[in-house]
Amino acid sequence: MTLRHLLEIDDLSAEELKAVLDASEAPPQEVLHKRGVALIFEKPSLRSRNSCEMAVVALGGHPVHITSSEISLDVRESVEDAIRTFNGYYSVFAARVYEHSKLERMIRVAQRPVINLLSDDGHPVQALADLLTIRQSLGSLAGITIGWVGDFSNVARSLALGAVSLGASFRFAGPSAYAPRTEDIERVMARAQGGATMSVHAKPFDAIDGANVVTTDSWYSMGQEDQKEIRRRAMEGCTVDSRMMSIAAKNAIFLHCLPAHRGEEVTSEVLDGPQSRIWQQAHNRMHTFRGLLLWLHGQGSIT
C-alpha cells in the first residue's frame, strides 16, 4: 500500500494537485463501499462536517463524526493511542484540530491516510475548494493574480501554496504584525510555477489593483476571541467593499471561506454581489473532498 497524507497543500505536487481538482469534477464512484471514514473534530464546523459527510456518502462510505467530548485527544487518551485504535475501524482519518502537531503525531502511527480538515498552520481542503472555484469561474489559474486582504491566516497560507503551484501570483496586503513571515514566502515561492510570484503590500489597494480574484478571511478565528478588539483596530482599512472591488480586474471574483463577519472583513454588498462566488466555493468543499478521496483511492492509499 502506498500511504499518502494531506496535511498541507505542498504534500501534493503540481500535477497531483491538478489531478485532485479533475477528480473533484468526475462522477462519483462507490470506492468507499462498506468502508468507514473517521471525521475527528476538536473544533466544530458547518462546512467541514457537512461537506465531508456528504462526500463520503457519495462514494458509498460511512462517515462517523467524532467530537472532542467523545475523544478528548491527550486528555482521556493520547493522540497515538486513539489513532492506533482507529486503525482497526476506519479507512481514512480526517481531523480538524487546534495544534498542527497533533496531525503530525497521527501520521507517525496511522496505517490509513490522514487529512487535515483545519489546523493552526493550514487549511488545505479549503484551498482545494478555492482553487476549483477559481478554475471554474476563470477557466484557469495560470497567469492570474489573487489579492488577499487582512491576516495571513492558515487559510491564506494554504491558498498561496496552491495558487503558485498552478501558475497564479499571490499578493498579500495587511498590517505587518499579521503579514507572512520570511519562511512563509520562501515556502510558497519554492512551489512557484510558470512565473508565479508572491508579494507583500502595506496598502490593500496595492494588492487588489487589477487582481482577478479578491479574497479575505475573518480577522479572528475560533480560539482567538480574546484578540477580537486588538485585531479589529489593527485591520482598520482592510474591509473589502465595493470601492476596493472596483479597482480589481473587470472579470474579478470575490471569495471568502466563511463564516463571514459582515461589515468587518467584508461588506454585505460584496458578499451578496454579482462578483461573489462564496456559495459555489462552499459547495465545492464537498466536491473537492470527494475528489481528494477518489485520488487517494487511485494512489492505493485507501484499501
Lookup result for grid cell 484499501? 303
Percent helix, strand and coil across the chain, each rounded to 5? 45, 15, 40
At residue 220, the pLDDT reads 86
Of 5, 96, 191, 201, the active-site residue reads 96
Q: Which tens digits make up the pLDDT trace of 171-210?
A: 999 999 999 999 999 999 999 999 999 999 999 999 999 9
Enumerate residue ranges in the chain where pLDDT < 70. Answer: 1, 222-224
| Residue 100 is among the residues annotated as catalytic for this protein | no
Single-letter residue type at 152: F
164, three cell numbers: 503558485
Lookup result for grid cell 507572512? 180
Lookup result for grid cell 454581489? 273
At residue 228, the pLDDT reads 87
Q: Which tens digits make up the pLDDT trace of 19-54?
A: 999 999 999 999 999 999 999 999 999 999 999 999
At residue 223, the pLDDT reads 66
Of 52, 171, 257, 277, the active-site residue reads 257
| Residue 76 is among the residues annotated as catalytic for this protein | no
Of 285, 287, 290, 297, the active-site residue reads 285
Does the predicted TM-score (pTM) go above 0.85? Answer: yes
Cα separation, 131 vs 55, whole angstroms: 18
| Residue 277 is among the residues annotated as catalytic for this protein | no
At residue 135, the pLDDT reads 98
| Residue 285 is among the residues annotated as catalytic for this protein | yes
DSSP assignment of 248-288? S-TT-EEEE-S---BTTTB-HHHHTSTTB-HHHHHHHHHHH
At residue 245, the pLDDT reads 98
Alpha carbon 90 to its chain centroid, in Å, reads: 23
